Structure 1
Amino acid sequence: MAIVDAWMQHPTLRHSNHEMFESLRRWTGMALLEEELPVKATVAALAAGDVEIGLASAWYGPEGALVSNDEVAGFVAQAEGRLRGVAGADLTKPVAAVRELRRAVEELGFVALRVVPWLWQLPPTDRLYYPLYAACVDLGVPFCTQVGHTGPLRPSETGRPIPYIDQVALDFPELTIVCGHIGYPWTTEMIAVADKHANVYIDTSAYTARRYPRELVEYLRGRGRKKVLFGSNYPMITPARALEHLGELGLDAKATELFLSGNARRVFKL
């Protein structure tokens, strides 16, 4: 089955070797990169996991671009059709950020916006996000963000689904929101918010199938089968490793298809 990976990135050295990821390097045993990772290595990792399309994201933070939109566009161009771009934006310059998002979608062909709240230490309800939400609605692209505790060495409070995602969905009912990293330890909150709002979804990035919380697996098997998307968080976890124990979740054929590709194709209009 062809898979869509809803949360991954092709890293630059500025991104992969950043000090805030020291905790992830400790957990995974990954070493600092000595040279830029070739795009062909990412393409090979996606192919090994049967990933047809990976949504490769830019990363912007207070200190600048860790992976710029133009760098992502360059990676997409080298990826033999296996990558689609997800834009980043500088929250501190809202007018320029909206213009850059429009350029990324209309000129570079990007399919979504991602902002990582812990990187900015600003929750998704901060006023600096709101022009970008309106632009996403206008452009017809989803807003992707992180929920749950923060693995990198930054505070976790910004990842709470309630009140933050709940309030944004109330303020922007037309905005499609894809919440990455499951929401643990607030998984039950995240499921409640996804149930409440028609346009709120969950992706499983940063977790292997064996580590999905019990309540998320039950949601996937039942009423949440159209609400959950697969994500790996590559290169931290390869798609093949993330899905190694998928068969142990007890998903039927339809739930499996929706989780691995169907929901992402619909949500991101692939």
Structure 2
Amino acid sequence: MSGPGRAPLGSVDYLVNAFTPDREPVWRRAIEDAGLAVKVRSDGDDSFAEADDFVARMDELGIQTVLCPTIPPGTAPPPCPVDFPSVAAGWAEVAELCVRWPGRFGALVCPDPSAGMAGVRSVRACLERPWVVGLYLHTHSWDRRLDHADHYPYYALCSEMDVPFVFQAGAAGGLVPSECGRPIGVDRPALYFPETRFVASHLGWPWVEEALAMALKFPNVFLGTASYPPRHWPEAVQAFVRGPGRRKVLFGSNFPTVGHRRALGQVEGLGLPPETVADVLGGTARRVFPRLAGLDAA
């Protein structure tokens, strides 16, 4: 680390939701309405902030780039009580961030697997923007396993466009089915699309061993830590990142459920070698998201 609670220069957080103060009541209402077993950060120096202040915090903590999932313009809300579109950053909002602060923000466009080829064309159009660096599937909004046919056109698009496919793996936080999020569901897609890089976000909990097995088996499957601060990483994940998974794990916060200041301080507490910390906090993300190089050059 570059200092107490500070990330190595060039660090990346692959999953940050809408972070401005006006979204705090939206988050709290969505959590209450959906019965989510999560909290949002409320401490002032690690919680919601206006964009200028958020960038200043990134500077202070050594974070170069954060990636924001966003819904394409004109997309209908998913048929799910978890109000993901309200807590995710809006398309125009992310576009403004990416243009105003080039290199500091990137977008992950969220596919609609129920929309057929119209949805694929919409995502393809979004990928024409250089600041859109990958796809993010809020898996439980659609209740489709990862090997469902509706996802395959998006996997093919990721292969063609050389962008990764990030998906929420594991149990749903709200009162919706969780089976669709089992990490083993990526087994066939990873075989069928060897050029597509898959990121199993949220550690795949409670099926962490499945997620680790997929990341060990496939060179194109990676593990993302979003929503789990380092002190909550299971022993199996810590052993993985110290051993065969050093270059297979990406740091993510799922902000505002995890604050950057707190999470980065906890990374120090793991006692990882400096080269491992550098990989987890940015090096692996830059290999998984090649478009980040273009953001850095902007």
> Residues of 1 paired with 2:131 and 2:275: CA distance?
30
Structure 1, unmatched stretches of 5+, are 31-35
Task: Please name the residue that 1:4 is paired with.
Answer: 12
Of 3, 27, 31, the match for 1:21: 31
- Asked if 2 retains the 8 angstrom alpha-carbon contact of 1:68 and 1:88, the reply is no
- Asked if 2 retains the 8 angstrom alpha-carbon contact of 1:193 and 1:200, the reply is yes
> Residues of 2 paired with 1:128 and 1:159: CA distance?
15
Within a 5 Å distance, the mapping from 1:237-252 to structure 2 comes to 237-252=258-273
1:146-165 Cα distance to aligned partner (Å, 9 max, x none): 11122234222121111x11
> Residues of 1 paired with 2:129 and 2:40: CA distance?
37
Q: TM-score, normalised by structure 2?
A: 0.80
Q: Which amino acid aligns with 1:8?
A: V
Of 87, 91, 98, the match for 2:120: 98
Task: Please name the residue that 2:67 is paired with.
Answer: 55
- Asked if 1 retains the 8 angstrom alpha-carbon contact of 2:41 and 2:259, the reply is no
Question: Displacement, 1:10?
Answer: 2.3
Q: Which amino acid aligns with 2:251?
A: F
- Asked if 2 retains the 8 angstrom alpha-carbon contact of 1:8 and 1:55, the reply is yes
Within a 5 Å distance, the mapping from 1:33-48 to structure 2 comes to 38-48=50-60
Within a 5 Å distance, the mapping from 1:154-173 to structure 2 comes to 154-162=176-184, 164-173=185-194
1:17-52 Cα distance to aligned partner (Å, 9 max, x none): 48552345863475xxxxx96322432443343211
Number of aligned residue pairs: give it: 265
- Asked if 2 retains the 8 angstrom alpha-carbon contact of 1:148 and 1:186, the reply is yes
Relative distance call for 1:210 and 1:37 in structure 2 (3 A) is closer
- Asked if 1 retains the 8 angstrom alpha-carbon contact of 2:13 and 2:67, the reply is yes
Relative distance call for 1:181 and 1:95 in structure 2 (3 A) is same
- Asked if 2 retains the 8 angstrom alpha-carbon contact of 1:20 and 1:152, the reply is no
Q: Which amino acid aligns with 1:10?
A: A
1:111-133 Cα distance to aligned partner (Å, 9 max, x none): 10111110112222222111111
> Residues of 2 paired with 1:15 and 1:167: CA distance?
40
Higher mean Cα deviation, 55-64 or 214-223?
55-64
- 1:243 alignment partner, SS class: helix
Relative distance call for 1:115 and 1:18 in structure 2 (3 A) is farther
Task: Please name the residue that 1:33 is paired with.
Answer: none
> Residues of 1 paired with 2:114 and 2:241: CA distance?
37
- 1:112 alignment partner, SS class: strand
Q: CA RMSD in A?
A: 2.6
Higher mean Cα deviation, 178-187 or 16-25?
16-25
Q: Which amino acid aligns with 2:78?
A: P
Within a 5 Å distance, the mapping from 1:117-266 to structure 2 comes to 117-162=139-184, 164-266=185-287
Structure 2, unmatched stretches of 5+, are 1-7, 43-47, 293-298
Higher relative contact order (CA 8 A, sep 6+): 2
> Residues of 2 paired with 1:184 and 1:222: CA distance?
20
Report sequence identity in percent.
Answer: 33
> Residues of 1 paired with 2:26 and 2:99: CA distance?
21
Task: Please name the residue that 2:295 is paired with.
Answer: none
Q: TM-score, normalised by structure 1?
A: 0.88
> Residues of 1 paired with 2:85 and 2:24: CA distance?
9
